[in-house]
Amino acid sequence: MKSWSMTLASMVLSGCLLSLEGCARPGAADDPAAVGADLIQHLEKFTEMEEKGASTEELDALLFWSDAVITGDGVDGASRSKAQRMETLKAMSGAGVCRHSMPDPTLLSGNLAVQIIEYTCQPGNGQPPLSFRVLYAWQKRGSDWKVVRELWSSGTLR
């Protein structure tokens, strides 16, 4: 009997490759490190816009493709519509000032990239810091990268 072992990231990448029509194009010349750095800049722009008071509509348009699906701890089911994503963004906006790190390199296959990002947020009112991690599946359409799948969980990878 053969034994199979996969990391979470490889399972998600495999699932995304199977569930997203045409998401992987073999032979893409993109460098995973360069794409990863570009995606981190995208997240930094999101954080900057959020800190400047951008609307959830603007934040959604920057980060997500219109057909994105997001889910995570404490959520019943998956958010499959813009309205549901907007409710999630509004609920998460109370997390306070957040900083992020990328503990593992970006996985890249054609026009699909997967990242695990750890966030540490300092809410206001003297509350203890919040830590959570997010698995982002980014898809490139034309020249733009946006999130097509998001899964979050509380805690860190340490």
Residues 44-87 pLDDT 10s: 888 888 888 888 889 889 999 999 999 988 778 888 888 878 77
30-154 belongs to CATH 3.40.50.720: no
Q: What is the mean pLDDT of the chain?
A: 75
What type of residue sits at position 54? A
Contact 106, 35 (CB under 8 A): yes
Q: What angle do CA 138, 140, 141 make, to 5 degrees?
A: 135
Higher-confidence residue of 7 and 30: namely 30
Report the pLDDT value the prediction gives residue 42, as an integer from 0 to 100: 85
Tokens matching residue 37: 């750095």
